[in-house]
Amino acid sequence: MAVYFSGRKKIGELSVALESGRARVDCMIFERWIDIDSSTTARCGEQGTCQVAKTEGIAEKASQTVERSIGTSLGLDDILKLKAQIKDVFGYEVNWNHSITTTKTFNFEAPVCGRYSLVVYQLLREYELTYLRQRRWTFRQDAWDKKWSRTIPEHTNTHDTLPDVEEFDEACKFRPECKSKDTMPNAYDGLLCFDMGKASFRVPYRLTSDGFEVQILKRLISFTFTDYPAGVRGLEQGLTISLPVQIIPEPLVFLSDIKGEYVEAQVFRYMDPDEDQTRFPEEVLTGITTLKGVLALTGQKF
């Protein structure tokens, strides 16, 4: 899952015994989301650009830390043992290879009287390693000397976006064509998260008479429920929807290497980060939601 949360979250910890128990490495793992986009807000019909960098692995400085500082105490077999145990416990591959960055720029245009913004996040995983050796000349089995502590930040290939387009922005009311513009903000029922495993985005939604609609940048996308009560419950529990790739924000498609015309997404109401984000049934509801239509916002082009 690629569900955004604020702050720094502890994922877990483990300890790996080395040298027949005479040494050990303690590892605490944390995750946090970092903002990786630049210049992604424009107003009043302005042109703008969104530049994102695709980076996976560890930076050169962190790579040198692994090779020099950690490598002097841990051999290759020890590092492989640590990575293998992390995979066994947490279920993912550790990537401590030197990262390669690919950058791409996307163009966008704000509504004539409104605002266009897009925030792009990347999941950063931090490993806090502590190397200890058993103290000599003591009968205590729990006596350890701390030799060093290091933190390895790993850029993952998990990303999240928060697209936001408003048809009217107070900063644009000086324009003649905007003076009579309706300044009432759009009414929505909250945010929905579309989770595609390694990629997700959060957008405003509102319930309709036969389903719901979401605003993804300049598009309004409508979905219908084949079973309305079950569909409404499904937004709380989780729905599986086949989503056209063309409506996903372009930077997210690039960063996550999304291919094909459609992608399967798990859709659920996004809750405040302080609330429990994992209230899903054992089996997510499927087959009760269909795509009804894709429209442009008033006065906007795709």
Of residues 281 and 232, more confidently modeled: 232
Average pLDDT over residues 165-179: 84
Pick the range with the lowest mean pLDDT from 55-64, 150-159, 194-203.
Answer: 55-64
Does residue 281 surpass a pLDDT of 50? no
Nearest alpha carbon to residue 295 among 205, 203, 219, 211 = 219
Does residue 274 surpass a pLDDT of 80? no
pLDDT of residue 237: 85
pLDDT of residue 194: 94
Of residues 68 and 140, more confidently modeled: 68
Percent of the chain whose predicted confidence (pLDDT) is above 90: 39
Nearest alpha carbon to residue 58 among 16, 100, 29 = 100
Structure tokens that stand for 153 in this block:
């930040």
- Rounded-to-integer distance, Cα 96 and Cα 53, Å: 18
Cα separation values, 106 from 44, 53, 100, Å: 19, 11, 20
- Rounded-to-integer distance, Cα 299 and Cα 302, Å: 10
Whether the Cβ atoms of residue 236 and residue 279 lie closer than 8 Å to each other: yes
Does residue 282 surpass a pLDDT of 60? no
Whether the Cβ atoms of residue 273 and residue 1 lie closer than 8 Å to each other: no
Mean pLDDT of the chain: 84
Average pLDDT over residues 139-155: 83
SS3 301: coil
DSSP 8-class letter at 165: E
* pLDDT tens string 13-72: 999 998 888 889 999 999 999 999 876 899 999 998 899 999 888 887 778 777 776 777
pLDDT of residue 288: 59
